[in-house]
Structure 1
């Protein structure tokens, strides 16, 4: 029973994203382009999961954060990797979607730009959120006398807001904050998020210029 709950918790996020995306993608009109249907499914799945994760973070006290982190298993790393790859691949689909919008005009073209903007923002927020949970896992599964992070105020029982702050500082600036990284495993996770964040930030700038040029052209 204990093993089942650990497995369910570790893979629930990935399973819900896949199932939600597939269901939404299937029920979208057949007349839509495949890329559009995939992105619609991805968007619904991502934003639904962001709401769920936000709800968990907002309601969890320090004891609850420690409990959730303690239930994660090694499969959580695999889930993190898969979601990171898929979120990055969504950028390719976004480029294809923007390419298809070049021949459109007026409100239809503008709606495509809004749609792609929501996709980029959702994928970026998803990466920051899943790394927040991952950092909490690495912290609370480390020995109490050798924690993987050191917070500047001496906080020994950080909550999700602390990990969220750490994660999104990396997402925005591609560098660590005033929180000190104390282990090799944590440094690897920070490096991975820093690289992904850099790619996303560059893509966001490029897509913003592309969208601005398209709007000026209309």
Structure 2
């Protein structure tokens, strides 16, 4: 499995390697959880930038080729990365709880770091589901596509799958894209539930930070 991940997902492999390296090399004077979060941010944002650049240049033929290279372990990779995302959110909440009576400048830096982590993790979830939707779509036969887009004469590219993924992430609904298979419906339900709790957490963190700023 590890061999397939390294071979078929070079951007993900490099992002993980960068994140681990940054976390390990970050000064020992910082708590281990903060170092892990710094490494997480380095890996996540490098991955998002690399994937964003790739998606802007990819047409539907390249999307199909990438989906064809991914194997049956794609769902396992998605699950592992989602768990990592949830752990990063737990870590950032724990970091906020330890702030105590920090100087105002350090508090501001912690809030900025919190925002960077939450936004990065939220974007990562949307992009990961985008890739998995594309993987399931192009691995299916032409007559049994699990998604039906309104402009049926065109083959979807990453922008179409990003649209579908982030519509769920923002509105917890599928908009004008039809889901036509049971497997895909299960995945969409899981994504919708995850998006709901993710958005609730972001709202809670925002209220907490706003209250702290008002009281400071």
Structure 2 residue aligned with 1:214: 212
Q: Give the superposition deviation at 1:90.
A: 1.2
Structure 1 residue aligned with 2:123: 125
- Residue 200 of structure 2: which of 202, 207, 210 is its match? 202
Q: Give the superposition deviation at 1:17.
A: 3.8
Structure 1 residue aligned with 2:137: 139
| 1:40-189 alignment runs, 5 A limit | 40-189=38-187
**Aligned-partner Cα distance in 1 for 2:66–2:167:** 23
Q: Give the superposition deviation at 1:28.
A: 0.8
SS of equivalent to 2:98: helix
Change in Cα spacing, 1:108 to 1:7, as seen in structure 2 (3 Å) is closer
Worse-superposed segment, 108-117 or 187-196? 187-196
TM-score under structure 2 length normalisation: 0.94
TM-score under structure 1 length normalisation: 0.93
**Aligned-partner Cα distance in 2 for 1:160–1:9:** 21
Change in Cα spacing, 1:58 to 1:185, as seen in structure 2 (3 Å) is same
Q: Give the superposition deviation at 1:9.
A: 4.5
Assess if the C-alpha contact under 8 Å between 1:151 and 1:179 holds in 2: yes
**Aligned-partner Cα distance in 2 for 1:4–1:46:** 19
Give the length in aligned residue pairs.
Answer: 216
**Aligned-partner Cα distance in 2 for 1:200–1:215:** 23
- Structure 2, unpaired ranges of 5+: none
Assess if the C-alpha contact under 8 Å between 2:12 and 2:47 holds in 1: no
Assess if the C-alpha contact under 8 Å between 2:11 and 2:47 holds in 1: yes
Please report the RMSD computed on the Cα atoms of aligned residues, expressed in angstroms.
Answer: 1.8
- Structure 1, unpaired ranges of 5+: none
CA-to-aligned-CA distance 1:97-154 (integer Å, 9 cap, x gap): 1112232131110010010111000000000001111100110110101111001122
Assess if the C-alpha contact under 8 Å between 2:22 and 2:42 holds in 1: yes
Q: Give the superposition deviation at 1:12.
A: 3.7
CA-to-aligned-CA distance 1:53-77 (integer Å, 9 cap, x gap): 1011101011111111111101111
Worse-superposed segment, 4-13 or 140-149? 4-13
Change in Cα spacing, 1:155 to 1:168, as seen in structure 2 (3 Å) is farther
Assess if the C-alpha contact under 8 Å between 1:129 and 1:164 holds in 2: yes
Assess if the C-alpha contact under 8 Å between 1:46 and 1:126 holds in 2: yes
Q: Give the superposition deviation at 1:80.
A: 0.4
Assess if the C-alpha contact under 8 Å between 2:68 and 2:138 holds in 1: yes
Q: Give the superposition deviation at 1:155.
A: 4.1
